Amino acid sequence: MQYNPGWNNSSVNLLHVRAVGPGDTLHYIWSSIGAPAVLLVATESRSSTLHINWTQLLSPAPSGAIWIDPPSSVVYSTAVVFTKVFEYSEAKTPEELFYPTYDLSDFSWNSINHTLNHTALTAEFTGIPATDPSDSFSNGSLAFRVTAYEASGRDGPLPSLLHTENSSKVEFVLAGVAPRGNSSRFVLEVATVEQTGVVEKLRSARSIDDEYTPTIFEMLSLVAESQNDSSTLSFLQWKATAYGSRTPRREDSIQCRSHSLQTANWTLPTSSIVHAYFGEGVGSTYTVSAMNISFGGEDGKVYQEKRYLSWSALLGFGQPPQDTFSPLVISIMAVALGTPMLMLLVGSCVVLFAQKKRYSEYEPIN
């Protein structure tokens, strides 16, 4: 993990996470320059390196300021951008009251240098609006916590996402932010940038096994597929829930809804690292898609009471991790289905044995 490689000023945040495999390298470049974003670049070289022209990156025309050397080693690249947060109050009338949008490219972000943990491979981007007329952020903040992984495993805290060494986690957190309505709900807008020949698809998978995330039976994945061979190149994966506590429990669950994926008809912030890497082709050569993820319990009361919301998602390369039935659930199913079958088998044997023992007082007629 490198913080602002080649730059000594902590007024901006750029975190480079580099994972070296047997014959390849995965690059994750997180930044809050412009809207918070992450670049995902996969290379087929163990020695590929990140280069940044900081003067150009921080200029009004950052195109070409970020590149991977050697360029020929890059086999796939994509980006995920967290652009806006909407707040609305769901009234009993068909109309919903939307408050002024929080544009994340206009936020002021703290230095992540003091939150970097090179042992746990974590960091936290924390920010507040540059202007806050409603004083909603006077005692609160918005944050993106990122975690890298060295091996496969499962997170301990809910929603206990299953991860691989080819993935990282991002956690969206609202803490202490005063809602502007009595039953406010929040919506996070997420945009993706994909190269030509790649298609984004939103998938939903349901399972009866909720051992690791109680009462939540749905997993959603936004996957990028190659049009040539239908192989999955990257993913963004999350459980259909958020939580209203720093130490989440089942009762702290907040309903999470994912809205349809659409081609974005707007441009990303020009100062973002996305333009610095992909150039001026964003929106033309490269496809920009966006979707909204909304959070809110019944009448929005969960956030109203606790003033805390956290939502976790996994992102990475290749196929998203898939949960299988745990040994505990398999054992329960075996007992639940096996016991009736065993009773039926024993009962049949008893009936057959009783029939063979049956006799009569009458002599058979010869």
Phi (first) and psi of residue 173, to 5 degrees:
-130, 130
Whether pLDDT at 171 is above 90: yes
Are the CB atoms for 243 and 254 separated by under 8 Å? yes
Residues with Cβ within 8 Å of residue 259, at least 6 apart in sequence = 291, 292, 293, 294
Q: Tens of pLDDT along 198-236?
A: 999 999 999 888 888 999 999 999 999 999 888 999 999
CA 97 to chain centre: 27
Q: Tens of pLDDT along 315-357?
A: 999 999 987 755 665 666 566 666 777 788 888 888 877 776 6
Cis bond before residue 70 (omega within 30° of 0):
yes
Assigned token pair, 278: 């992909």
Whether pLDDT at 307 is above 60: yes
- The answer, as to whether pTM is greater than 0.85, is yes
Phi (first) and psi of residue 252, to 5 degrees:
-90, 5
| Domain layout of the chain by residue ranges | 78-317, 329-358
Long-range contacts made by residues 99-104, C-beta under 8 angstroms, separation at least 24? Answer: 99/134, 99/180, 99/181, 99/184, 100/133, 100/134, 102/129, 102/142, 103/35, 104/35, 104/36, 104/142
